[in-house]
Amino acid sequence: MKSKTIALTMTALMVLASFAVISFQDESDAAITVQDGEGTSFTFDGPVNKIITIGAGATATAAGVGALDKIVVCDSYSKSYDNPVLKDVKRYIEEGKIAANGNIYSSGKAQLETDIVYASNPDTGSFDREKDVVIVIVSPSYKANVAFLEEYGFKNVMFWDSSSKTYGDIVKFVETVSLVCNGGVDGSAKKMQAVVDTISDTLDRTKTPSKDAFYITYSGGNYVVGNTKSITTVMIEAAGGTVVTKDDTKSQTTIQVNLAMLKQDHPDAIIFADNTIAKSQEHMNYIRSIFGEEQKIVPLDPLWNNFSIESSTGVWTMACAMYPDLFSGDVPDAGGSSDDMMIYVAGGAVAVIAILALAYFFMRSK
């Protein structure tokens, strides 16, 4: 009987071990199929070994999902942002682990090409043009400046336009970068969705009316405001606001409007100002001269207005500004991240109990 007891106990332990193996199985072992912002499909055997990021949002997202060590080249603007998520990126650049000398604009295009070609040359770099990935955030007007990637035979070049239809597009971007780099969806993407869900659920539960708001920046010698497909517009909407400057008859992401009329029509609208305006006393004085000293103007971190892992912080900041009685404090975390693990543990425990029960009745019957 003793040998039977030992055998049954060993069986129970083996079943429990099998659940542990399943629960800790590396989901990155499977092939990964994803789409970029243009709807192009890409398939990888598993997480890529190296990445190139063009666009500060792409660099911040890769670093934010834990893929800092995989970045070999990023654009020079990625080192110009003063945001904690890019702190280690800057350190890697200083240590020579990441090349960041060029960008997609005319002044930096040649150097960007030089950096990328050097990093992907088998004799000088570690990036594999067949297996690794280039992640590019670029407006259509500058996409031609990275046409050299195709000319050099880079197989996996994933593009995202610098505009967005919904906040879900930004969450999907972070999920995709995480999948390509790590083989699974990082908790940061779940946190981004949790922020939106928390805001939406709270506003619905409290039956709080939507606040008027808009985004303003200074570009091309003019003050322009957010329109349809502006990333900041979809962020305001994700934060529960009503964007009063949207004009569906115009295709531009930012448009010119009569600011005095805007003040007259929407006197209580909350203004979200980008870094260009928020850090310029001259611009702020002009905006105040039209909208008044009492108008709420909220400065935005430049990395928020981007396809970026940091955009959820921007959405939460907007919600806190528009609904201070409902939202405050730190960005909420995604709950239930360990749900799957708990299911496996519970399943294993049930299996062990069942086996031990069978063993008990078996021994009693002898």
The C-alpha angle with vertex 348 and arms to 347 and 353, in degrees rounded to 5, equals 100
The C-alpha angle with vertex 87 and arms to 273 and 335, in degrees rounded to 5, equals 75
What is the spatial distance between Cα 330 and Cα 319, in angstroms, rounded to a whole number? 12
What is the spatial distance between Cα 117 and Cα 137, in angstroms, rounded to a whole number? 19
Q: Across residues 276-286, what is the average pLDDT?
A: 96
Mean model confidence pLDDT for the chain: 87
Domain regions of the chain by residue span: 2-25+336-365, 47-166, 191-322
Contact yes or no for 45/31 (Cβ under 8 A): yes
User: Taking the model in full, what pTM does it have?
Assistant: 0.83
Q: What percent of the chain has pLDDT over 90?
A: 76
What pLDDT score does 164 carry? Answer: 84
What pLDDT score does 19 carry? Answer: 45
What is the spatial distance between Cα 67 and Cα 204, in angstroms, rounded to a whole number? 37
At 13, the pLDDT band (50, 70, 90 cuts) reads very low
Contact yes or no for 326/203 (Cβ under 8 A): yes
What pLDDT score does 336 carry? Answer: 42
Taking the alpha carbons of 220, 224, 229, 232 in that order, is the dihedral positive or negative?
A: positive
Query: Which of 2-6, 104-108, 248-252, 322-326 comes out lowest in average pLDDT?
Result: 2-6
Phi-psi region of 159 (alpha: psi -120 to 50; beta: other; left: phi over 0): beta
What is the spatial distance between Cα 259 and Cα 261, in angstroms, rounded to a whole number? 5
User: What CATH class has 191-322?
Assistant: alpha beta
| Tens-place pLDDT, residues 179-207 | 999 999 989 889 999 999 999 999 999 99
Q: Is the pLDDT of residue 82 over 90?
A: no
Q: Is the pLDDT of residue 346 over 50?
A: no
At 173, the pLDDT band (50, 70, 90 cuts) reads very high
What pLDDT score does 223 carry? Answer: 97
What pLDDT score does 335 carry? Answer: 58
What pLDDT score does 3 carry? Answer: 52
Non-local (6+) Cβ contacts of 128 within 8 A are 49, 50, 120
What pLDDT score does 29 carry? Answer: 60
In CATH terms, are 47-166 and 191-322 the same topology? yes
Q: Is the pLDDT of residue 32 over 60?
A: yes
At 349, the pLDDT band (50, 70, 90 cuts) reads very low
| Tens-place pLDDT, residues 84-119 | 999 999 999 999 999 999 999 989 999 999 999 999
Q: Across residues 277-286, what is the average pLDDT?
A: 96
Fold (CATH) for 47-166? Rossmann fold (3.40.50)
Contact yes or no for 243/236 (Cβ under 8 A): yes
At 30, the pLDDT band (50, 70, 90 cuts) reads confident
What is the spatial distance between Cα 171 and Cα 179, in angstroms, rounded to a whole number? 12
Q: Which has the higher per-residue pLDDT, 188 or 288?
A: 288
Look up residue 259 and give its two tokens.
Answer: 């600011």
Can you list the positions of beta strands (E) in 141-199?
Answer: 157-160
At 345, the pLDDT band (50, 70, 90 cuts) reads very low
What pLDDT score does 348 carry? Answer: 45
What pLDDT score does 177 carry? Answer: 97
At 178, the pLDDT band (50, 70, 90 cuts) reads very high
Closest among 198, 172, 197 to 185, alpha carbons compared: 172
